[in-house]
Amino acid sequence: MLKLEHQTLNDRAYGALKQELISGGFSPGQALVIRKLAETFGISTTPIREALQRLVAERLLEMQNNRSVIVPLLSAPAFEELTRIRIAVEGLAGEMAATRMSESGLADIQATLAGMQRAIEAGDARAYLSLNEAFHFAIYQHAGAPILLNMIRDLWGRVGPYLKLLMQADRYIPQSNDAHRKIVAALEQRSGPTVRIFIEEDIAVAAAVLSANLDAAREPSA
């Protein structure tokens, strides 16, 4: 994790913690200790405390009866609801992005796709998940819809802690880039509806794998 600059620390602490949720830097059920986070980011405890409170208010984190803050554990119905919402809004963002994307933007996404394949072949799960996040948000940013993009970031903040489980599923790894190749091919054709279909497929396939592992994921991490 990068140290934070001593400037607008409340917002920066909030952004950094939210990014950790999106990227899977925290695990389901993990307790977030203020002092430890402050040491990690190299700042005082006050901005961290306020950032945690803000994330609790947004329900991206959960406060326990003993006042400890944890990464929420998703029930099966909650995970199913999140998946259905993600399919709807991320599919929409992909469809909107298809006709608005620049050639340089498309080239960057193609390069990210190639990097994801190299990560799979190298067995580098961490690199794959980081590139997967970059791949999706590079597409969604081209939709030109900031409200929609913020909604997607919030959804990833809820599901991000579970995404690392994908790379522990042997049946998922061989097919993990299939939908991404289809998405890129559809982007090259500037076919919004087709991009939407393959983004929906990508989310649905990953969610089916994760659903089978939810029980294990609900075991809290220290």
Looking at residue 201, its pLDDT comes to 96
Query: Do 217 and 112 contact (CB within 8 A), yes or no?
Result: no
Q: Measured between alpha carbons, how far is 2 from 93 in angstroms, rounded to an integer?
A: 29
Looking at residue 84, its pLDDT comes to 98
Tell me the two tokens of residue 2.
Answer: 């990068």
Looking at residue 123, its pLDDT comes to 86
Q: Measured between alpha carbons, how far is 123 from 33 in angstroms, rounded to an integer?
A: 31
Closest among 217, 221, 172 to 75, alpha carbons compared: 217
Looking at residue 6, its pLDDT comes to 45
The residue ranges of the chain whose pLDDT is under 50 are 6, 220-222
Q: What is the pLDDT of residues 111-133, one digit of tens each?
A: 999 999 999 899 888 899 999 99
Q: Which domains does the chain have, with CATH numbers?
A: 9-70 (1.10.10.10), 76-217 (1.20.120.530)
DSSP for 39-99, please give it: HHHTS-HHHHHHHHHHHHHTTSSEE-TTS-EEPPPPPHHHHHHHHHHHHHHHHHHHHHHHT
Looking at residue 68, its pLDDT comes to 95
